[in-house]
Structure 1
Amino acid sequence: MKKENHKTHPGNIVITVIAVILLIVGAVYFIGYLKYTKHYEETNDAQVESYINPVSARAGGYIQRVCFNEHQQVKQGDTLVMLDDREYRAQLESAEAAMDDAHAQLAVLEAGIRSAQTGTQINHDQIKGAQAKYVQQQQDIKRYINLVKEEAATGADLELVQAHYDVAESDYSAAINGLKTNEARIMELKTHYAVLQADIKRKQAALELARLNLSYTIIRAPYPGRLGRKNILEGQQIQPGQPLVSIIDEKEKWIIANYKETQVGGMYVGQPVEIRVDALDDRVFKGRIMAIAGSTGSRFSLLPPDNSTGNFVKIIQRVPVKIEFADEQAANVVPGMNVTVAVKKKS
């Protein structure tokens, strides 16, 4: 019998070569991965974070104009929304009128105080004149009493002098009482002046509040950034405190990387890291650790797990690590992007 020659099929050779190549590539990759994991702690459970704050209304009213578009880049102070301000302008004019009225009353009161003070000067002069006449009449009545005793004057003359004396005494007393009345009036006016000054302070505060409320009808960007979705329209009624649009602070970005609890043992604040963004495959960013959470992420959840029920399954926990970009080349990195973070281990 003839021996059959078993020839290897060309397809089998190709498959064998490919398998060998794959094994070699896999071995090289595996060895590289082991070397890499020996020097780095890596996680892909990480995302870019940023401050995303709502821009809220400080005043209520109808929206007169919306001055932005969705996802628009804005600068600090840019006008976003304008409200119908007619009601607030009327309140401001009313507060200004009340302030003008209070100042007018204050001016009248100051004039009254000055007039009363001038009156006291006149009272002092009247007192001096009345006192001089009173002293003179005292001397005259003493002299006439002696003259009557010496029969050098009649009783009628003494009565006339007595009448002049009584008039001088009354004038002197009236002048003193007039001074007291004016002084009491000055004290009363000064009391009203103090009350009016306090009222002016209240009205000044009301005026400033009216101006402040009017300024709230123009809603501006609190800081430079990029706006979110546009959910408001012109003519819409809004209330104080109502969120109008979200704004992203693109200048301040960081990463929250959730490392396994077995990976954070050698990490420390300030430790350098390498950052790879899924959307930017060819870019490697530098960063450093800003903070390491004091507990696992599950402990920050609304309903932390309770293992005392007896249904215990051991699961490796994750520890949030906050990482900042070490350079300013992360302009194209958007909050919410997935990243891979590698922390170099201590040598």
Structure 2
Amino acid sequence: MGLTLIGLITAAFLIYAIKWIKHRIEYAVSDAVFVKAQEMPTLSFQVAGKVIEVYKDMGDWVEKGEVLARIEPEDYKLQLEMIESKINSLRAQREALRIQLDRVSKEVRLSLESATLTSEETLKKEEYLRAQMGELEVQIELLRKDRERLKDLLDKGLIPKRKYEEVETNYLALLERKKALQKSVEELRLAYEKSLVGVSMARASLSKVKELENQLRVLEEEIAALEKQKESALRDLEKTTLKAPFSGYIAKRFINVGDVIRAGQPAFSLINTDTLYVEVLLEETKLRGIKKGNKAYVRLDAYPDVVLEGRVQEISPVSAATFALAPRDVSAGEFTKVVQRIPIKIELKDKRLLRVGMGGRVEIKRE
């Protein structure tokens, strides 16, 4: 009876041992399991100020774009209003300057056109009168010769006196007409010279137009610079409200109402639950047969009776000790053999039970 019992116990032990060995051959098992999140940023205000409202606390679920907290916005509103006031004032100056520039430009253009037209017309009139004087001088020369010839004939008694007097009258009339034309030409010359002065003055007035254009350009540049300041002030005002960049749970709250915080000071830690995963620090001696896509079974310490199924998503090309804060120094020749651990990322199908920092046990199916 005793031998039978011993035999049964031995057989049971052998069966368990064979199954255990077979399981260890088919699976890589490790207790170095940690739940982590790919996205767990620390959120902060990008401007300084006093916290006036806090809407969320640790463990609260938030939607993307939901407001988490606010800081006092009055200083930023005042800065924005001051910039807008300057912009409005400069815009009013710009509008007045545009009206003045338009008026002055028209006046200068009309003045220049009028002076140019007057000088051209005056010059044409002068040329016309000079042409008439040329013709008149030809007529006067002819009458002078006729007058001298008739005078000789009159002295000899060959012609009546009346005929000579008729030529004399015409000759004197042409001389008077010549004097009148000469005077008109002189007056036109003076008028032409005055018109040239008007043209010069009109052209000189163009400098005033250029001056107004330069003033307008400077105003445009000032307004453009203030517009950029306004955009910056608007962004600062928007930054007085802290919003969630994605949906997730608040892991920690670092601020309270009444706190005076600086830009960049931590306010909340937010976890993106869609990025939760399990990291396994697997011994290098167990890497045989472990590849991307292998099935993995995880038991969390918090839920030992629940098996979570997943797959190997990534296998690190370096050991966990490579990026340690205090790496081992073996340059002195002292060296103790230590089994290195390779980080392996496992993506689970069901992440509802996962919490960052949880531990557990994993079994990875080998190929």
- TM exceeding 0.5: yes
**Which deviates more from structure 2 when the two are superposed, residues 121-130 or residues 281-290?**
121-130
CA contact 1:148–1:158 (8 Å) conserved in 2:
no
Query: Are 2:225 and 1:238 equivalent residues in the alignment?
Result: no
CA distance in 1, matches of 2:71, 2:40: 24
Would you say the 8 A contact 1:293–1:319 is kept in 2?
yes
Aligned length: 328
- Alignment partners' CA distance in 2, 1:23 and 1:215: 75
Superposed displacement of residue 334, structure 1: 0.7
User: What's the counterpart of residue 197 of structure 1?
Assistant: 220
Counterpart secondary structure, 2:176 = coil
Change (3 A) 1:102 1:270: farther
Aligned pair in 2 of structure 1 residues 318, 92: CA closer, same or farther (>3 Å)? Answer: same
Aligned with 1:309 (options 320, 332, 345)? 332
Q: C-alpha distance in 1, partners of 2:288/2:176?
A: 129
SS at match of 1:80: strand
Do residues 211 (structure 1) and 200 (structure 2) align? Answer: no
Question: Residue 334 of structure 1 corresponds to which residue in structure 2?
Answer: 355
Task: Give, in whole Å, the separation in 1 of the partners of 2:272 and 2:74.
Answer: 33
Answer 1 or 2: which has greater helix percent: 2
CA distance in 2, matches of 1:98, 1:278: 64
Give the deviation of 1:28 after TM superposition: 4.2
Runs of 4+ in 1 over 6 A off after TM superposition: 19-24
Q: C-alpha distance in 2, partners of 1:72/1:23?
A: 56
| Unmatched segments (≥5 aa) in structure 2 | 141-174
Deviation at 1:177, TM superposition (A): 2.3
| Higher Rg of the two aligned structures | 2
The answer on 1:169 being equivalent to 2:181 is no
Q: Return the TM-score normalized by structure 1.
A: 0.84
Percent same amino acid among aligned pairs? 23
Q: Please name the residue that 2:163 is paired with.
A: none
C-alpha distance after superposition, 1:268-308 (max 9, x if no partner): 22222222222122222222222211111111112221223
Q: How far did 1:147 drift?
A: 5.5
* TM-score, reference length from structure 2: 0.80
How far off is 1:143 after superposition?
Answer: 4.1
Structure-2 change in CA distance of 1:22 and 1:278 (3 Å): farther
Q: Which residue of 1 aligns with 2:88?
A: 100
Deviation at 1:141, TM superposition (A): 5.0
Q: CA RMSD for the aligned pairs?
A: 2.7
Structure 1: stretches of 5+ with no match in the other structure: 1-12
The 2-side partners of 1:191 and 1:20 are apart by 110
Check 1:138–1:230 CA distance in 2 against 1; reply closer, same or farther (3 A cut): same
Give the letter for the 1:170 counterpart: K
Partner residue, 2:159: none
Asked whether the equivalents of residues 141 and 162 of structure 1 are also in contact (C-alpha less than 8 Å), the reply is no
Taking the aligned partners of 2:260 and 2:236, their CA distance within structure 1 comes to 17
1:81 maps to: 69
Q: Classify 1:106/1:24 alpha carbon distance in 2 versus 1 (closer, same or farther; 3 Å).
A: farther
Q: 1:60 to 1:23 in 2, by over 3 A?
A: farther
For 2:110 and 2:10, locate their aligned partners in 1 and report how far apart those are by CA, in whole Å.
Answer: 117
Counterparts of 2:134 and 2:254, CA distance in 1: 106
